[in-house]
Amino acid sequence: MKKLSQAAQRLEGQRMFQILTLGRDLERQGREILHFELGDPDFGTPENITQAAIEALKGHQTHYAPSGGLRELKDAASEVTVRSRGFRPAPEQLLVCPGANVMIYYAASCLVDPGEEVIVPDPGFVSYFSILKFLGIKIVRVPLREENEFRLDPDDVEKAVTAKTRMIIMNSPSNPTGAVMTEDQVKRMFEIARRRDVYLLSDEIYARMIYEEAGTRHYSPSRFDQCRETTIVVNGFSKSYAMTGWRLGVVTGPEEVISKMGLVLETTTSCVSPFIQKAGIEALKGSQEQIFKMVEEFRKRRDALVDGLNTLPGVRCLKPKGAFYVFPNIKNTGYSSEEFAARMLTDAGVALAPGPIFGDHAEGYVRLCYTNSIETINKAIEKMRKVLSR
Cβ 162 to ligand PLP shortest distance, Å: 25
Near ligand PLP in 167-196, by CB under 6 A: 171, 175
User: Which among 182, 120, 184, 104 is positioned nearest to 156, based on CA atoms?
Assistant: 120
Using an 8 Å Cβ cutoff, are 315 and 327 in contact?
Answer: no
Q: 165-170 and 199-203 as β-strands: parallel, antiparallel, unpaired?
A: parallel
Site for ligand PLP (CB under 6 A): how many residues? 13
Q: Which H or E run includes 55? A: helix 47-58
Cβ 16 to ligand PLP shortest distance, Å: 8
Does residue 39 belong to the site contacting ligand PLP (CB under 6 A)? yes
Distance between CA atoms of 8 and 332, rounded to whole angstroms? Answer: 38
- SS3 for 293? helix
Using an 8 Å Cβ cutoff, are 39 and 369 in contact?
Answer: yes
Closer to ligand PLP by Cβ: residue 103 or 309: 103
Distance between CA atoms of 7 and 331, rounded to whole angstroms? Answer: 35
User: Roughly what angle, to the nearest 10 degrees, separates helices 274-285 and 47-58?
Assistant: 140
User: Roughly what angle, to the nearest 10 degrees, separates helices 101-111 and 126-134?
Assistant: 40
Cβ 174 to ligand PLP shortest distance, Å: 7
By CB neighbour count within 10 A (0-12 exposed, 13-18 middle, 19+ buried), where does 157 fall? buried
**Candidates 28-36, 95-103, 312-320, 359-367; binding stretch for ligand PLP (CB under 6 A):** 95-103
**Candidates 58-66, 97-105, 107-115, 135-143; binding stretch for ligand PLP (CB under 6 A):** 97-105
- Sequence-ordered list of residues with C-beta below 8 angstroms from that of 340, at least 6 positions apart, any chain: 330, 333, 354, 366
- Residue among 99, 286, 308, 364 that touches ligand PLP (CB under 6 A): 99
Distance between CA atoms of 209 and 206, rounded to whole angstroms? Answer: 5
Q: What number of residues does the chain have?
A: 390
Cβ 214 to ligand PLP shortest distance, Å: 23
**Candidates 3-11, 99-107, 131-139, 337-345; binding stretch for ligand PLP (CB under 6 A):** 99-107
Does residue 203 belong to the site contacting ligand PLP (CB under 6 A)? yes
Does residue 376 belong to the site contacting ligand PLP (CB under 6 A)? no
Question: Bridge partners of 120?
Answer: 141
Cβ 58 to ligand PLP shortest distance, Å: 26
The number of CA neighbours under 13 Å toward the Cβ of 386 is 11
Closer to ligand PLP by Cβ: residue 281 or 387: 281
Does residue 249 belong to the site contacting ligand PLP (CB under 6 A)? yes
Does residue 244 belong to the site contacting ligand PLP (CB under 6 A)? yes
Q: Which residue is nearest to ligand PLP (CB)?
A: 99
**Candidates 98-106, 144-152, 275-283, 365-373; binding stretch for ligand PLP (CB under 6 A):** 98-106
Near ligand PLP in 112-131, by CB under 6 A: 125
CA torsion sign for 184, 302, 288, 74 is positive
Does residue 78 belong to the site contacting ligand PLP (CB under 6 A)? no
- Residue among 69, 123, 178, 236 that touches ligand PLP (CB under 6 A): 236
| Residue ranges that bind ligand PLP, judged by CB under 6 A | 39, 99-101, 125, 171, 175, 203, 205, 236, 238, 244, 249
